[in-house]
Every structure is written in C-alpha cells, then in structure tokens.
Structure 1
Amino acid sequence: MTETVLAHTESVCPQCLRRLPATRVAENDNVYLVKACPEHGAFRTVIWRGLDNYVAWGARPGAAAPPRGAGPRLEGCPFDCGLCAEHRQHSCCVLVEVTERCNLRCPVCFASAGGTRGDPSQAAIRDWLTALYATSPDVNLQLSGGEPTVRDDLPEIIAMAREIGFDFVQLNTNGIRLSRDPAYARRLALAGLDCVFLQFDALDDQRYRVIRGIDLLDAKLAAIDHCRRARLGVVLVPTLVPGVNTQAIGALVDFAARHTPTVRAIHFQPVSYFGRYPRAPDDADRITLPEVMRAIVAHGGGTLNAADFHPGAAENPYCSFSGSFYVDADNRLHAAGTDQACGCGSAPTRAAPRDETQHARQTVARKWAAPAQEAAPSCCPGVSVLSLDAFLAQRRRSLSISAMAFQDAWTLDLARLRDCYIHVAHPDHRVIPFCAYNLTAQSGRSLYRAD
C-alpha cells in the first residue's frame, strides 16, 4: 500500500496522554492520524474516509479571532487550556455543567455522567456565569451535565442566566423529564430558554437499548410534542454509532423534516471515545464526517448535493459541516443557500472580513430558536397577501443539518484543538475547549474533569 504524508501535527498518547508528534497520512481513499509513544507504542486511527474531498474541504480555513485575555503558554497545548495564548478562536458556545447526576446510565457518555457529588449551588453557578459574562458576554450558553433537568431549580438557573445578560440559552437534555411533564416545558420557556438540544439517536427502541440502555422512543416523541406546545425550538442530536444507527441517518433526517418548524435542526455527532465507553475503539467503530454527508445526500434521492454542505467558517474545517434547507409540502428538502447554515455557520462569499465566531453565534441563535409567530391577516382591503402568507409559512419550515466530529485521545489533533470554539466553563473561571475538557485516557484519567 502506498502511503502519502499530508501534514505534520501533534497529538497525545491514548494510554498516558503524553504529547506526541503526529502525522496525517493518506492511504488509498482514507486519511489516518499516525503517532507513536515511546512507552506505549504506535497508534493509527482513521479520521476521514474520502480522500477526494479532504484537501478541498480544508482549503479555506476561517480567520483567527484569538480569545480575550488569553493566558501564558507554560506546558503547551493541551495542558494550558483556559485559554492559552496558542488558542486561535474565542468562544462561540460555552457549556455550563449544572450537575453530575443523570437519570440514565448510557454505555457511552462523554461526561461519564451519574456521579454522586452534590450539585453546585445557585450561588456558585451565578459566580461562574458572572465571570463568563465579564469576558464573553455574547456567547451562546448551553446548560449541560449530567442531566440538567434532574435539578428542580433549573428554571431559576435559566432566569439567572438571562438576568446576567446572556441572550441565547440552550438546554442539553435526554428529554425524559420534558416527556413526563408538559407544564415543565412551559416553565423553562417562561424562564427564558430558547432551544432544547435533545439527545435523539433512533426511531426504534432496539437501537435505544443498545446506545442508552433502555426504551426511550415514546419519551423522545412526547418531549418534542411538549416543546411544540411550549414554543421551544428543538435540535435533534443523534450520536452515530457504527453498526447500530448509522444506517438510519436518512430516516432521522426525514423525521426532522416532518417535525419542522418545532424541530429547527438535526445535529449529528459521530461517536467519540472519551468519558465512559466499553473498550478501546478500532477503525470499524468510527464514522467520519464525509460518510455522514454521503449518507444524507444518497437518501435525498437527487434533491440534495454534496455542494449543499460546507465546513465551518470559524472552527477548524475538519471539525464540522452544515447546510440550510427548506421543507416543501411533501416534506422534501431543498437547499436554502450558503449563508444560512448552523453548527456553526458556513463561509459565504463576502467583500469585507468579519468575526466568523460572532457570525456563528448569531446564526445558531437565529436558526435554532423557535420560529416567530405567523403573520396576522392583512388589514388592508383589496390587497391580497395569500402568496406572502404562503411564503412566510414555507420559510418557517426551514431545517439546518449539521454534524460535529469531537476528538478523543486516538484522534486528537492539536492543530484542530487550537481552533476550537465550543468551550466548557470550568468552576475556576477558565473556559476550556470541549475536546480537551473531556479528553480521557484509556484508563479513564482526565486532564480537566475532577475525579
């Protein structure tokens, strides 16, 4: 087999998390990350299946927008996150983990949720949010965990975030509590919640039993309905696990289209092996971004094209893709243009430079929140607004399709990590890139999560 070196970078050892030189290499139609630890040996992991579009996909990286108040470089990436001066992007979305508790025990969980440590107090969370707002007032905030809805005071925390000044608040949830209590969804909406980031892996319980351990489909459907009644936008978030639900990508897109405008987006997350996972992965346990795109296009039956999807304009291009679509009366998807995407934003042609991270934040807020109320009937006699009303109704049925490939200890590329703009708020007031915060050695040791 012929192997071609594409680039030199750095990574870590999956066994000891030591920083290592690494190489991206092409072999046949695949791209691999290759590295060797002097103590634990060589590692070779597929990171991209589809060499034909790999170089073109990364040809236009986003402009750097370094974080405000970056700290000094001491040990270097990924050990100085907080953020250090090597980091190239300020925050777009910041996760705040309000609990370690969870009402599920999923076999794969990036947070290894289910801890018994007590929840942080509202006073502690206010301290974190106030510190975050002082340096990053315009970030999109995602309340996460654990499972945030196990906290009875979650509406008060949402209202607190709004009071401090955050203007877009998401909830990362499995939907179980939302499914059981429609009044709870209304309470969250009244408190100021914009968007529900709903774990949604499958359309049958057999797959839920494999990925989450229990039957969950009825709960997911009820949660979506209760969000609809409360006028909360929903983003469906399937974790894609090869051999379990990767054959259902097209069916999940169809479901999302049918449930617009309540469902605002579907955001695929290829499984990453950090936090809690049953065993060390091999290449058969991975699905890469171009494979997800190809599955969506193939399922579209000619209405979608690979050109409808674009890399992010602010984060590293190999971290994500996104595209914006509208849904016709037959629930078919049609491309809506290049400057409509989410997760977090495509790179349109433009004459003047802009802050792509800021644009990404605004795009997510616009596309993922619940749609505005329908226009009232015309008050102007003799002026027909039927076509306008039809146009507005159609525009309300838009759908963003995106995916983000998080990095684990096998796939971590420090060039990508330095471009990350999905961050986690640490209790000591640092913000840490998501993939660094959740980075887990095969033994379970973490760099940043408390034991």
Structure 2
Amino acid sequence: AVNFQPVSLTGRMGKSEREKYRITVPDCVQRIEEQTNGEVTIDDWFPVPSCMPLTNVIEAFSSKPKYELSIHFACGAGTYIFEDADTKKFVPLTKFCDIQGMLELFEDKAEEIRSGKNKYFTMLEVVRKLKGFVDTKKQPAGLDLAKMFGNILMKRSFDSVGSWHVKGLFLGMMHFQDKYNEDLERLQRCDIHYLTPDLRIVPFCAFNVIPEWYRDRIQKKYSITVEEWEEREGVKLEDGLYRGLMRRGAGDELAAGCAKSQMFHDAAQATM
C-alpha cells in the first residue's frame, strides 16, 4: 500500500502561512493526477465509507457484525490500481469496473437478506452478476476481478482477501485534523479510537493531533518506565518485539511477517 499524508499544521501560524502550507485530500488527488500524467485521475478515488455496502452484504450473509469503516467522508480517500501483466502499466480499478453499480448491488442485496430473503440464493445472485460490472476488454491482463470478488464474498477468509492485495496496490490517504480545521462532525464519526486506562474512548485526532487535550495528561498520569513495566510483568520488552526479515535473516522467512508468510504464499497461489 502507498498512503499519502496531507500535513497537519501545528504551532502558531498566520492565515497567509496556513494557506501556503495547507493541502487537503482534494488537493492531493488533483496533484496525483497531474504527477502521474493522468494515469490515476481524481475520478478514480472514493471516500473511505464507500466500502460500507460491501461490509453490509457480508454482514447480512454471515449474520455476524463486521467492522464498519463508517467514518466521515472528508477524513480520507482510497483507490486500487492493478498491474497489467502484458504492458506492465498500472490500471486503476475504476477504469475497468463499474464500482458505483457494484456497490448499489451490494446494498440492495444486503437489504433483501435483512428483509428475510434466502441469503444463499441472494449471494449466488450477487456472485453471478459480478461479471456484468467488469469490462473484460479493459481489465488488466492476468486479472479476473469478478472471480476474486466472488471468492471474497463466499469464503470471507484472509486468503481470499490476501489474493486481492497480492494482485492490487492500495492507494490511500487520511487527513488528520489540527487546531485550524477541527471539525466536530469528523470527531464524532471517527473509526480510530484510543481506549484510555480510565475507560474513556477518545477519537484519534482529538487524542494525537491536539495532544494537550488528552494524550499529554493521560501519559503523564499513567505512564511508567520500561524497567518498571518489566519488573511488574516479569518479562523483557525486547523478547516481545517483532523481528522482520532483515533482523531474522533470510533463513527464517515464515517467521518474518506477511511479506514472506504462508498466508502470502497461499494468497498468491489462489490468484493463479
């Protein structure tokens, strides 16, 4: 994944200085279009909560609550690009897939399942209709998007989702707030929270970007040294640290994380 981070402004800044350095999500996607010579356009991006229809149909089919990215639309955006096996060029998802139509299908079928329609027949209908949203003439060589989506919907496993991420590259961005653009509606719709030791739930931007509101006070009140923690827990902090491939060595790939994991291998095989 490649995540672009619009800057959050800190410290005392006059209006002219703020205008000089301020860059928003729309500014970013416009510059990406310019700097990729139109390969990734502003129309290829979707706000984060656009994925909710997919979550809803999976939730309705599985009858189990799923994590919902229902954040405020202004918090971030994302898209996927796929490499054409023949031309080696990147092709945005929107260039060969009717995303809007697919999302509408997901939402409609989720509502049908909730209203009592047989969920198995409904999901089979969804999978059968997926090909109709994909322009196979424009679809990158070596990619079967409808098949991948069908596997995700029916299997709902890490391997099926892993296949998607092996083939595609996620482009995303999230614009964290600062004192000059604080938006209460965005804070209320936050999906990234901090649970504090005194059992309060604090939105990310309120906690991290404006630290004197919550973070500094909480850390001052509850933080302890590494030595104190090790004595209390009876373990060494170093023993629990993640070891990547560079530190483990080339002979220990399976223990080195996702890039060399069995899950990655299985996901890659599933796309062949």
- Classify the TM-score, shorter chain: 0.3 to 0.5
Larger strand proportion of the pair: 1
Larger helix proportion of the pair: 2
Report the TM-score, using the length of structure 1 for normalisation: 0.28
